[in-house]
Structure 1
C-alpha cells in the first residue's frame, strides 16, 4: 500500500499493526447513505464543530462527500467509504479511555500520528476506529478497498488540533 508510512505509525502490538494496514469495510454505491448524528454534551459538540472546520478535503485519496442528514458532527469521504462521527459515546469494548479490552480479539489499541485509537472489526470486513485519550470520542468507519492507515494518518492532524488530550494518571 503506497500510503502506508512506517515511520509515522506507532502501534501497540503486532496484531494491531497487521490489522491496521489491512484495507477493510464496505461502502454504499449510491452515495445516499444515512449516518446517525451523535448527541454529545455542549462542550463536546463545540469541539466537534471545530473539528469539522479543519477536516481535510481528501482522506485516503477520496473527496469529501458528507452523509445525510447534514451535520457538523459527521463527515464522509469517497461515497460513504470513510465516515467520521464526532461526539459518539465510549465504545463498550473500551475498558476506559486509555485501554482496549485485551480479552476481545476484535478490539485492538494502537496509535497513529499521535492519536490513540481503539480498532474494532465489523461485519463484512469493515473496521471502526474510535479515538482514546481525547476529551471527545471520534469514530471513523473505513470500508473495504480503502487503506485504514491512510485514513487515520490523514485525519490525525485535524483531531490533534481540535480535540484535546485527556490526561489520566
Structure 2
C-alpha cells in the first residue's frame, strides 16, 4: 500500500485547522499593554487591586488588554489602560512635575505624545499607572474618579520600594 496516497487528505485538514485557529484569536482586536514585573510584595498588592477594580470606568465596560494578567486592566475602545506594579517614573523626582489629587489618591500627571495622558499614583506602596488615550481625554480625570476607591482599598499609603 502506498502511504503517499493518504497524505493529501491530512494536509488540507491540517491547513483548515490552522486557519480556523488563527481566525479565532482574541488578540486580533484586543488592546495590548506591557505587563510590569514587580517584586512579590507589590505583585500581591496588584492582585488585590485587580480583585476590586470596577466593571465600568467612566461608563466604559472592562475590556482587559493582551496578554492577560492581573497586573493590567482596560476599559472601552480605545482603551483606558491600567498597569499595576510599574517602576517609579523619573518625572517624580522633578519638583516642577504636575500632580493632582482625586478622591484621596495622589497622581503624577504626564502628557505624552499624541495627546495621551498618563497618570501614576504617588505615595502608595505600589505604583499604579493609568493611560488615557487622546479620544478619552475630553472627560478630564473622570476615569480616576472611578478608579480611586479601588486604589485606596487595595494599595496602602506609603512609599513604594
Q: 1:31·1:79 contact (CA, 8 Å) conserved in 2?
A: no
- Per-residue deviation, 1:34: 1.8
- The residue that corresponds to 2:82 in the other structure is 84
Aligned to 2:41: 43
Instruction: Point out where structure 2 has 5 or more consecutive residues left out of the alignment.
Output: 1-27
In 1, Cα distance between equivalents of 2:33 and 2:70: 12
Q: Which structure would you say has the larger RCO, counting Cα contacts within 8 Å and 6 or more residues apart?
A: 1
Q: Give structure 1 stretches of 5+ with no counterpart.
A: 1-29, 96-100
- Give the Å deviation of 1:135: 0.3
The Cα shift of 1:149 comes to 1.2
Corresponding residue of 1:102: 95
Aligned mates of 2:45, 2:107 — CA distance in 1: 18
- In the aligned structure 2, how far is the partner of 1:57 from the partner of 1:91? 27
What residue is the counterpart of 1:141 in the other structure?
Answer: 131
Question: Residues 59 and 154 of structure 1 are in contact (CA less than 8 Å); yes or no, is this contact kept in structure 2?
Answer: yes
Higher helix share: 2
Alignment partner, residue 109 of structure 2: 119
Task: Check the 8 A contact 2:31/2:79 in 1, yes or no.
Answer: no
Using the TM superposition, give the Cα deviation of residue 145 of structure 1 relative to its aligned residue in structure 2, in angstroms.
3.0
Structure with greater proportional strand content: 1
1:152 and 2:150 aligned: no
Select 2:156's aligned residue among 159, 164, 168. 164
What does the per-residue CA deviation read over 1:82-119, in whole Å, with 9 as the maximum and x for residues that have no partner? Answer: 00000000001001xxxxx234xxx4111100000000
* Distance of 1:61 and 1:145 partners within structure 2: 14
- How far apart, in 1, do the equivalents of 2:152 and 2:58 lie? 18
In 2, the alpha carbon distance for the partners of 1:161 and 1:80 equals: 27
Flag the 1:31–1:108 CA change in 2: closer, same or farther, 3 A.
farther
Q: CA RMSD in A?
A: 1.4
Q: TM-score, normalising length from structure 2?
A: 0.77
Structure 1 segments of 4+ aligned residues over 6 angstroms from their partners: none
In structure 2, the partner of 1:8 is: none
Q: How many residues align?
A: 130
